[in-house]
Structure 1
Amino acid sequence: MQSVLIALCALLLSMGSAQAERLKDLVSIQGVRSNQLIGYGLVVGLSGSGDQTTQTPFTLQTFNNMLAQFGIKVPVGGGNVQLKNVAAVSIHADLPAFSRPGQTIDITVSSIGNAKSLRGGSLLMAPLKGIDGNVYAIAQGNLIVGGFDAEGRDGSRITVNAPSAGRIPGGASVERSVPSGFAQGNSLTMNLNRPDFTTAKHIVDQINELLGPGVAQAIDGGSVRVSAPLDSNQRVDYLSILENIEVKAGQAVAKIIINSRTGTIVIGQNVRVQPAAVTHGSLTVTITEDPIVSQPNALAGGETVVVPRSRVNAEQEATPMFKFGPGTTLDEIVRAVNQVGASPSDLMAILEALKQAGALQADLIVI
C-alpha cells in the first residue's frame, strides 16, 4: 500500500504549476536542525605574530597545562617566557543534522588575545562542546587565513581583511551524534520559513489533495502538522515526496526597506499610494571668502591690512510636482520618481512624508 501511495504522489507531482515553489524551499522540518559548537585551543607555528604573554597570561597558562599533560614541567619563574609563535583562540562550528561519528565539519578559528596574525599557524587538538557541556567533535589542522598584516620599522602598517581569524575545511571530526526527534511519533511538524496564513492554507490544501483529507493540519500561520509513517525508511521516502510538492506561496506584507547608511531603498510588492501630490526641491547656499588687501599710498601714514569680503549665493532647483492617483502601483512610483530625477536621499524624504500623510499603504522600515 505504501509503494502504491508513493507512486501515485510522484505521478501527481509532475503536474505541478511552474509558478509555484517547492515545499522544501518554504518550510523546515521541526527537529531537523544544526547545533552550535564552541571550543578553546592553541594555534602554534606563527612567525612572531602570536600573543604577547605579558598581556595575555591565559595563553602561557594554557601552554603550561598542555606541556604538563606530556610530563614536561615548566621551572618556577617560567612565567617570563615569551611565546611569540603561539596564540590562544576560540573555535566555533555548526554540527549539521544527522551527523555521525567519523564525519568531518568545517570550523572557524578566531584569536582572543592580541595576536597580530594567525597566518601559517596550526591548531592543536581541541574539544568542541555543545550547550549541554558534552564534547561532540575534536578540532585540529592547518589554518587558511584570507587576510594579511604587514608593518614597517617606521611604524607604517597595512592590513587586508582580518588576519586574526581563519578557517579549517573539514577541521573537526565528529565524535558524538545529536539525538533527533525525526523518527519519533506518528506525525511531523513543518515550520514555515516565513510565517504566512495564506501559505499555510495552500500547503494544507495541496497535501490533502494529494494524500487525502486530514493528512495535513495547520497549527497556526507558521506551522503545519502532517501524519507520517512510523517506519524510518518509509518516513524518508514519504518526506522526499512531500518536499517536492509545488505550493503557491502567499504574497508578503507590503514593505519599504530603507538603509539610511548606504542609501539603499527596496520597495516590495503590493505597495500602494493613495491620492497625493508631491513636490521636492532643494535650496543650495554657497558662501565664498575672497579677501582683498588694502594698501595706503607711498607717503601715507597708514598700514597695509587685509579686508575680508564674502560672497553669498543661493540657488533653488525648480523641481516639478507630480501626482499619485488612487491605487498607484510600484511601477508608477518608480516611473514618477525617475522623471523627477530624485536622489536616494530625496526619495527617502518623499516616502517618509507620504507615510506621515497617511497616503502610503506599506510598512516603512528604516534600518
Structure 2
Amino acid sequence: MTRSFMFRNRLLAFLLILILSVSIIAPALAYDDGTLYNGCNGEEVKAMQQALINLGFLEGKADGKFGDKTEEAVKAFQRKNGLTPDGLAGKKTRSMLDSAKKGSNSTPATGKAAKSPVYSEGTLYNGCSGDEVKTMQEALIALGYLEGNADGKFGNKTEKAVRTFQQKNGLDPDGLAGRKTRSVLELAHKRLSAPMEMTAEEAQVYDEREGIDWAPFENKAKQVLTNEGHSIDGLNYIAHSYAPKGNSALRYDYYQLTFYKSKETSTFNSTYTVGFDPKGKLVHMYADDHGGKKLTHEDDPTAEDVDKDLMNRAKEEIKSFLKRYGYSSLAKKVSKLEISQISVSNDNVDTYYTLSGPFMIRLRVAPSVRVDYFLAD
C-alpha cells in the first residue's frame, strides 16, 4: 500500500515536470524563425525597443529584454499600422518598424513627414518636427488639449493631445495627424475665434462660409413647433445663428433658428426659437407669444400655491416631451426637478412653471399644459 502510494506520487511529480517543460519550450516552437516575442532578449530586442522608443510607442530605455511593456508597445505599433496586434515581432512587423524608423529619422526640417510605406504623405506623427508641427501644436494648445509651448517637435505629449482631440471629435484615435485630423483641428481652431454674438445677417454670412445646410434644421424646427402646438402661420422669415462649441456654453456646436413675421424685427408679434446639436437633436426651444416684450410679474404665486394634481400632470407632460425627442435618460430624472419660478402673463391668462435640476424646462400650465421652453445642458 505504501509502495504503491509512493510510486503514484513519483509518477505525478514526473508528469508535472514534463508539462512545465513543454509549456516553457512550446512558445519557441510556435513562432517563425526570426520572430521576437515576450521572453526574448539580446541585441535584436534592444534595437527593436529603440525604434519603438523613437516612434513614441515605448517609454524608458532599451534594455534588450522583451517584457510586458515591450509587448504592449509592439501591439500598439501593429494596431496603428494595420497589422494583427498579437505582440509578436515577426518579419513583417519588424520590416514595417524599420521603415517607420527610417522615415522618422529622415523627416525634413519643414515638418512635412517623409513619404514612407507606413504613413500617408502629409501625415504628421511622433518624431516629426518643423513649422507644420508647431502650427498644429498651437491649435491644440488654444483648444486646451496640450499644455506648454509649441516647440515644433512631435513627441509623446503631442501625440497624446492628438489622440484626445481625435477621440472627442469622432475620429480614429491613432495619434497620427493626417489630412482629416488636421482639417478638423484647423476648423475647430478657427471657430474658437468666432464672434460670441452675431446679428442675423452676420450669422448668415458666417454660416455660408462654413457651408452649413440649414434645410434639414428648418424642417425639423417646423415639425417640433407644430407638434408642440405652436402655429408658424405668417412667420415668413427665419434667422440662422451658429455658436461654436464653447461659445454656446454647451459641449457641442449649436445650431439655432428663430422664426419672425418679417426681416424687420420691429414688425413681428410672435417668435419661436429652436436649437439643435450637430446630429439634429433638439436641445433648446423657446416660444415667445408676446411680440418680444419682456414679461413683468407682480404678486407671482409661489411653490406653496402649486396644485398637486396640476403638478403631476405637468411632470407627465415633461416625460412625454422628453421621450418624444429622444431624451429617455432625462425623463427618468423628472422627479428631481424643482420649481424655480412660477409666473403669469400680463393679462393673467397664462401661467408658467419653470423647473430646474438635471435640466431646465418651462411649461404653460394654464389654460392648457404645454412645453414652452426647454434647455438641455
Which bin holds the TM-score, normalised by the shorter protein? under 0.3
Question: Which structure is larger by alpha-carbon Rg, 1 or 2?
Answer: 1
**RCO (CA 8 Å, sep 6+): is it higher in 1 or 2?**
1
Q: Normalised by the size of structure 2, how large is the TM-score?
A: 0.23
Q: Normalised by the size of structure 1, how large is the TM-score?
A: 0.24
Greater helix share, structure number: 2
